[in-house]
Structures are given as structure tokens and as C-alpha cells.
Amino acid sequence: MTQTDTMQTTPRTLTPDRIDHFREQGFVHIPGIINAEEVERFRVAALRIYETQEGLSARDVFSQHVNVWRGDETMRELTLHPNVAGVARKLAGVSLRLWHDQILVKRPHNNTPTEFHQDQPYWPHDGSPNPISAWIALCDVPVERGCMSFLPGSHRRTDLERQDLSDARSLFGICPDLQWSPRVTVPLKAGDCTFHHGRCAHMANANETDEPRVAHVVIYMDAAARYDGKGHVVTDPLGLKLGDALAGEMFPELG
């Protein structure tokens, strides 16, 4: 599905109320971050990668293909899309670098949700208080296809250890107060995007439909971020030392 009948959002048209919503709540819905023609081109490219390349698998939750911008020219255009990067920069209010991208595909009838979790505890970052992810829908993502839900304000919980996104009780076992937080579910049309802070807790429903759920995620970190020594699939091959800057061609400054 490629339903994109909303006005396109650009850094120039991004309204102050959306910026305020992101900074207060930790997430925001941005309609039409890419146009209908782009949606179709990027969706075809993402599915080609999904079908022909081995990706990482989070059990039965989703298939994940990381740093596709490094090897696929079409997906590189989306990962480095000036519209996406420009909106991210305005929402975060700081200089950003690319951390990595990832194609996320949920198979039809996968029967497994992605449980509530924060992203940043997984990342080997020191000095990045403003991480932000752009979750771009490359098909229509209604509730039954696996759209995202967020816990507003949970990005202020910067002290939580890594959670298990396949365990429904993991986050709430670590931070019981969050189980009473309101939950905001955000269905997306193809071409829409949610931006969320790396500490904003979120989940995605199972895909109960007959079509794959296809999303592309572009993740940014503070331009001054440094390597904190934790293992990660992106940094493990780079031979980094504790305290090294996360910079250079792998982590270009954007926005």
C-alpha cells in the first residue's frame, strides 16, 4: 500500500507545536516525510534487500537489515534524505551524526509484537543526550499491521538498563511506574514518519495482515558522541578504543 494523500512536511514547514510535542512527549508524528513516488521506489528496494540478503533476526519479532545505506544506492538516498535529516535536526535542536539505518520488516501474521523498550541502552554511546530515530513507513501501517505505541515522557528516564524487546514484562520489571503511563498509538500512512527520542519507550503490534510491514529507520546521535566500549554490531568491526569519537565516513554529520 502506498497511500500518501497528506501534505508533505519539510524542515521549512515543520511547525513549532510539533517541535514542542517532540521535546515534551519524546515522540511526534510527522505526515508525509517523503512523497508517494519515493515511497514506492524505496519500498521496492527495501523488499529486494529483505528477500535477497540475510539480516539480523529478533526471534520472531522482525527481520532487521542494518547499515543498508553503505551498500545500496537507492536506500542510501533515503537514509541521507535531506528532508528527514533536516526535520530531525530541528526536532533535536543540536548537531547530529548518523548512527545507523535499518530496514525493519514484519512478516504477515508474525503473531509477535515488539514489546516496550528504550533504544539507547543498546547503543555504545557516551555524550549523546539527544538521540533521535526517524521511523519511516514504506507501506500503510494501521494498528493491525504493527504500528508503534509510545509512553509519553519516558525519554526522561535516562537511568534504565537495557530491556528485552521480546519480553512484555522487561521494561516494567525494571521501572514499574511506567506500566501506569498513558500509551499513545500512532497508525501511519505510507510516507509518514514518527520521530522518537532514543529513551522514549515504544512498542509495535504484531502484523496480523496478509502483507509485510515495511519500515526504514534512520537513527541519529549527537555530533559529539564518543564510543563507550559496549559491544554493538555497528562498532564491533571498527577497532574503536574507549573514548574514540564516533565520526568519519561511517558516521557523517547531517541536518
Question: 82-92 and 16-25 are packed helices; what angle lies between their axes, rounded to 10 degrees?
Answer: 60
Note the helical H segments in the chain. 16-25, 36-52, 73-79, 82-92, 170-174
Low-confidence ranges of the chain (pLDDT < 50): 1-4, 58-59
Residue 16: its pLDDT value, please? 97
The pairs formed by 244-250 with CB atoms below 8 angstroms and a separation of 24 or more are: 246/97, 246/99, 246/125, 246/221, 247/97, 247/223
Q: How far is CA 79 from the centre of its chain?
A: 11
Residue 254: its pLDDT value, please? 87
Residue 5: its pLDDT value, please? 53
Q: Is 36 exposed, middle or buried (0-12, 13-18, 19+ CB in 10 A)?
A: middle
Residue 18: its pLDDT value, please? 97
Number of H helices, E strands in the chain: 5, 14
- Give the Cα separation of 179 and 159 in Å (integer): 17
pTM over 0.75? The answer is yes
Residue 60: its pLDDT value, please? 55
